[in-house]
Amino acid sequence: MNMKTMSYSVLATLIAAASAQAMAAPTEIKVWRHDTNEKEITASKAAVERFNKSQNAYKVVMEMIPEGAYTETINAAALAGKLPCALDMDQPVVPNFAWAGNLVELDGLLPAVQLEQLNSVGKGTYKGKVYSVGQYDVSLALFSRQSILNKYGIRKATIDKPWTKDEFNEILAKLKKSGEFRYPFDINTSWSGEWYSYGFGPFLQSFGGDEINRANYVESEGVLNGEKAVAWGTWMQSLVKNKYIDRKPTDDKGFLQGKVAIHYNGSWAVGDMTKAYGDDLAIMPVPDFGNGPVIGGGSWHWGISKACPDKAGAAKWLSFLLQPEEIAATSNATSLIPNTAAAAAMTENYKAGGKWRVFYDYSKKFAKMRPETPAYPVITSSFAKAVNDILDGTDVQESLDKAVETIERNIQDNNGYGFTSK
């Protein structure tokens, strides 16, 4: 072999090696996540690191977007055609995002067994198709102290025997009459925004009403302003009239300060409550107002944008997150409720006999998604206005009729958002 031939041979080898190296470089999967508390961010970063180390084909690059501006940011990016491959979303906005053509169906992209193993609140749908998946959920409950229940002869509600409406009303009257508490009940009227649909919509559903007819998703008439809905609104208004709640509290600390006997709150608050009351803390299901207990379901989910150039890679990332070990790792790091039974069994808090197992059971048995329709943004804002008006003393029927009118007009203006009354 002459020197010239050898040089060509060496050069070819080097080129081949460089090409092989280039081909082996992992495909970048851009991911957006809302910037929330430190525990959740740390858990997400750890998951990204584990995924990137688990294989060589893809590299997830995650960007944190401020939570306060997150929905506006992803909407603007969608309009500009600049969405990342994968993004997390608050579950109620998923149907609107899917209707607008910004998300791809996950049926067929993700293993069917993973979708089947998720609790119902772990799947975001539009017209029966799955567009998002969530590792975790939170749960609503009633919190009190066992010493208070014992002192006033009040039965501790259980998952199999929650308080009835009449029983709950009698309890509130008894606690009010005692004079021991500034208010017997706190439903967080100091909060605003999504809390109204998430927290008070389930009470409406337990009464037998709803924010929209879920049989067709085009009508609110009869379900948001019918007899059962009016009964719910009248009961909500009675909480203020009877001084069972503080209409405009300065904060949500009344229960922790001993000024409130029963607090309607979420599993996210159990840590502070446990620190305050220890073994005296009593965690109970929400009341049954006639149609079974109902709590809000659906937390932050992951979806894949239509703009993603490598949907298979994005799907591999989501599938990785849905592994029981990954869901359990997130739960252990954040105390959030795992969305599969297999993952729950791997956690200290939510396994059978775990100290917060009751929240997993409430979520699985009582949780109901907020209306899965693109009309949800106008539904939740209209509902919140109606609730505020009712609590302020406005006629219940009038308040609900106005909400129905606003919701149905929006649906009609958008040609039913893909739904029909047939």
How far apart CA 69 and CA 380 sit, in angstroms, is 18
Q: What is the pLDDT of residue 24?
A: 64
Which helix (H) or strand (E) segment is 90 a member of?
Answer: strand 86-90
How far apart CA 389 and CA 331 sit, in angstroms, is 38
8 A C-beta contact, residue 338 and residue 370: no
Compute φ and ψ for 419, nearest 5 degrees: -105, 160
Q: How many CA atoms lie within 13 A of 53 on its CB side?
A: 6
Q: What is the pLDDT of residue 8?
A: 55
Domains and CATH numbers, the chain: 12-138+299-355 (3.40.190.10), 140-296+372-418 (3.40.190.10)
8 A C-beta contact, residue 129 and residue 251: no
pLDDT (tens digit per residue) in 281-306? 999 999 999 999 999 999 999 999 99
Structure tokens at 57: 């084909």
Report the first-to-last Cα separation within the chain, whole angstroms. 82
**Of 262, 256, 272, the residue nearest 146 (C-alpha):** 262
8 A C-beta contact, residue 367 and residue 361: no
Q: What is the pLDDT of residue 67?
A: 87
Q: What is the pLDDT of residue 74?
A: 93
Secondary structure E strands in 173-284: 183-186, 260-266, 281-284
Amino acid at 35: D
Q: What is the pLDDT of residue 7?
A: 55
How far apart CA 38 and CA 206 sit, in angstroms, is 35
Going from the first residue of the chain to its last (422 residues), give the mean pLDDT of each consecutive group of 10, the final group possibly shorter.
Answer: 50 49 78 94 97 97 92 92 95 96 96 96 96 97 98 98 98 98 96 94 98 97 98 98 96 96 96 96 98 96 97 98 98 96 97 96 97 97 98 98 98 96 70
How far apart CA 31 and CA 87 sit, in angstroms, is 5
State the DSSP string of 269-280: GHHHHHHHHGGG
Helix axes 324-334 and 311-321, enclosed angle (nearest 10): 60
CB-based burial, 79-92: b 16+ in 10 Å, e otherwise: eeeebbbbbbbbbb
Dihedral in degrees, nearest 10, Cα atoms 271, 273, 274, 280: -160
